Every structure is written in C-alpha cells, then in structure tokens.
C-alpha cells in the first residue's frame, strides 16, 4: 500500500494546462473505449434537495487508463455576482488493479474542461462542418470553457452572440471572445439568437420561477445545440423539431429533462456518443441536432488521467501522508 497521496489543488490542475484539443480527444477516446468494453461506469447518483441544489456521485473505472475514479460534486443556487461557486467538486483516483488510492484532485476545473470537451466532442460528430456563428445562452464560467473548446474545434468562428440574465457576465464573455478575434453582440432576443447561430450552447442554471424559453423550431435547418443545462431552458413541445436528439449514454438517460428536473414526454434520445464515437452518422452535419447530457463519469476519468500524467511529469502537486 502506498504511504502517500498526491493532492492537486485548483491551481495545480490549471497548471497542468490541458488544451481544448487534448480534452476533446480524451473524451472521444473514453467513449470509444466504453464501446469496446475497456471501461465501465455507473449512472450518476444524485441526492436532490431542491432547484439547483443537489449532491452527486459519479463512478468509473478504466482498464485502458489503469485507474478508477469517483467524483463527488455539490451544486447549490447562487445569486448573480456571488463569489461563491454554484458547483464544487473533488475527484478521488485509485489504481485500477490494486485499488490503492493514488490522488485527490480538485474537480471544479476538470468539470469545466470536461463539460466543454463533451459538447465539442459531440459537435465534432453532429454539427455542420462549417460554423461561423456561435450563440451562448448563459455567460458564466461554462461559457468561457465552451468558447475555448469551440474556437479550437472551429478556428473559423467569426461571431459570438451572447444572451445572459447578467449584463456583467455577458460583457466579460464578449471581451474574452473579442480577444480571440470574434465579433461579439450582446442580445436580448432568444429567437433571434437561435435563428442566426450555427452552434448554440445553453447553460441556464436552475432557479425558482425559471420557465423554458428556447424554441428549437427557430433554429437553422442545419445547426447544432448543446444543452449543458440538461434541456431545462428548451420548450418541451418544440423538441421534436430536432432531427437528431443525442445524449452521452443511453444507459444513463433516455430523454431530456424539463425545468422541474423531470423527464420530458415529448421527445426521446435516438443516439448516444458511445455508439457515435465508433460509427458516426454520415449526414449528421446537414441536420438540426441537439446534444443533451447529464455528465458522463468516464469523461471525468479521462480528464483526471491527463491531469495526473501531466502533474507527475512536471512535479506538480503536494504529496500527503496517508
């Protein structure tokens, strides 16, 4: 049994500098390994306490990466402008063969990067090959991670449309997008954003009184949407307007979730990334598609593995006695 445990703080994880391309390929690799039977995971276990308030456990093991992980993540409502994060996470890493604990990682940065990497991985399989306009519905930290992930996937992106309940958040995201060479526009009309965007990222946090407002029928005939918010911001009655509804794993989710956190009755997922990572759809980029996901434990494992490898190589982190 090892007498030490590596601890990687939030800054340690950031110092490992996982690039958007590395993260996207790691996620796709995890899905391919899953399809080939080289890893396993359990559906997310959640203890829901109220709107936007929950504690969750996400467990996975990979023979290919020789590790097992569990992410313990808490979410709680936060007020606009609050310095307290709405999501807090830790990841425990064990040796796959022996079960020996290897490391504890701060999970917040990994959650940001892996979520954006999942959206980008799905876009690489579903979105139009030429995308010039991206629309952000919600402009918090996840929007910044998605900006980096999608600008890496689509270096030809020219315009970012920004819709947010917080003007300050929209301004900060606009500044970040402008720094990457994009023309930016802060908008207040959701229908116009959908009609103009080739790519749409919805990241609307759960909150008391929230009502769905995104209408899939307003999107271009060939466009891609990633519902990071599990679908709560999309009108359930309009979901059939998507030609393709895709999730991370059909074993975990069969349908999107509504504003009350309940499965919708108007649409069902037809594909998942487990299958599409091995056998992509040839005409997917010509259709209107939605990627809606709850978070796949193997994606967290894939990112934790990259971070751990980089940290060991660079001598990053703190060795703790057990």
> Model confidence over 266-320: pLDDT tens digits?
999 999 999 999 999 999 999 999 999 988 899 999 999 999 999 999 999 999 9
Indicate the pLDDT class of residue 80, thresholds 50, 70 and 90.
low
Same fold, 4-110+298-321 and 116-295: no
CA-to-CA distance for 144 and 20, rounded, in angstroms?
Answer: 12
Q: Look at residue 11 and tell me whether its pLDDT is greater than 80.
A: yes
Indicate the pLDDT class of residue 81, thresholds 50, 70 and 90.
low
pLDDT in tens, 54-74: 899 999 999 999 999 999 999
CATH node for 116-295: 3.40.50.720
Query: What's the pLDDT at 64?
Result: 92
* Mean pLDDT of all residues in 20-26: 97
Q: Look at residue 147 and tell me whether its pLDDT is greater than 90.
A: yes
Q: Look at residue 10 and tell me whether its pLDDT is greater than 70.
A: yes
CA-to-CA distance for 110 and 238, rounded, in angstroms?
Answer: 33
Question: What's the CATH superfamily of 4-110+298-321?
Answer: ornithine cyclodeaminase, domain 1 (3.30.1780.10)
Across the chain, what does the average pLDDT equal? 93
Indicate the pLDDT class of residue 208, thresholds 50, 70 and 90.
confident
Query: What's the pLDDT at 2?
Result: 64
Query: What's the pLDDT at 85?
Result: 74
Q: Look at residue 190 and tell me whether its pLDDT is greater than 80.
A: yes
Q: Rounded to two decimals, what is the model's pTM? A: 0.92
pLDDT in tens, 37-47: 999 998 888 89
Indicate the pLDDT class of residue 183, thresholds 50, 70 and 90.
very high
Ordered by start, the domain boundaries in the chain are 4-110+298-321, 116-295
* Mean pLDDT of all residues in 215-236: 96
CA-to-CA distance for 78 and 53, rounded, in angstroms?
Answer: 10
Query: What's the pLDDT at 78?
Result: 73
């Amino acid at each position: 049994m090892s007498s030490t445990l590596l601890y990687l703080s939030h800054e340690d994880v950031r110092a490992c500098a996982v690039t958007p391309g590395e993260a996207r390929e790691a996620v796709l690799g995890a899905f391919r390994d899953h399809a080939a039977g080289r890893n396993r995971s359990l559906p997310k276990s959640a203890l829901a306490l109220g709107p936007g308030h929950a504690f969750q456990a996400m467990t996975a093991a990979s023979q290919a990466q020789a590790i097992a992980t569990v992410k313990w993540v808490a979410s709680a409502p936060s007020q606009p402008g609050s310095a307290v994060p709405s999501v807090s996470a830790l990841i425990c890493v064990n040796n796959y063969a022996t079960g020996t604990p290897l490391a504890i990682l701060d999970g917040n940065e990994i959650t940001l990067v892996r979520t954006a990497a999942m959206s980008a991985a799905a876009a690489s399989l579903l979105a139009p090959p030429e995308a010039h306009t991206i629309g952000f519905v919600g402009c918090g930290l996840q929007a910044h991670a998605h900006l980096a992930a999608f600008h890496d996937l689509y270096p030809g992106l020219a315009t970012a449309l920004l819709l947010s309940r917080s003007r300050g958040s929209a301004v900060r995201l606009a500044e970040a997008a402008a720094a990457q060479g994009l023309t930016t526009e802060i908008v207040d009309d959701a229908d116009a954003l959908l009609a103009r965007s080739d790519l749409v990222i919805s990241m609307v946090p759960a909150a008391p009184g929230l009502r769905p407002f995104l209408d899939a029928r307003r999107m271009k005939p060939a466009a891609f949407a990633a519902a990071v918010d599990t679908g709560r911001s999309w009108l359930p009655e309009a979901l059939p307007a998507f030609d393709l509804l895709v999730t991370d794993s059909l074993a975990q989710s069969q349908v999107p979730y509504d504003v009350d956190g309940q499965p919708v009755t108007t649409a069902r997922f037809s594909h998942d990334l487990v299958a599409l990572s091995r056998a992509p759809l040839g005409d997917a980029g010509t259709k209107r598609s939605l990627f809606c996901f709850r978070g796949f434990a193997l994606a967290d494992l894939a990112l934790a593995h990259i971070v751990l490898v980089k940290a060991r190589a660079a001598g990053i982190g703190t060795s703790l006695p057990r």
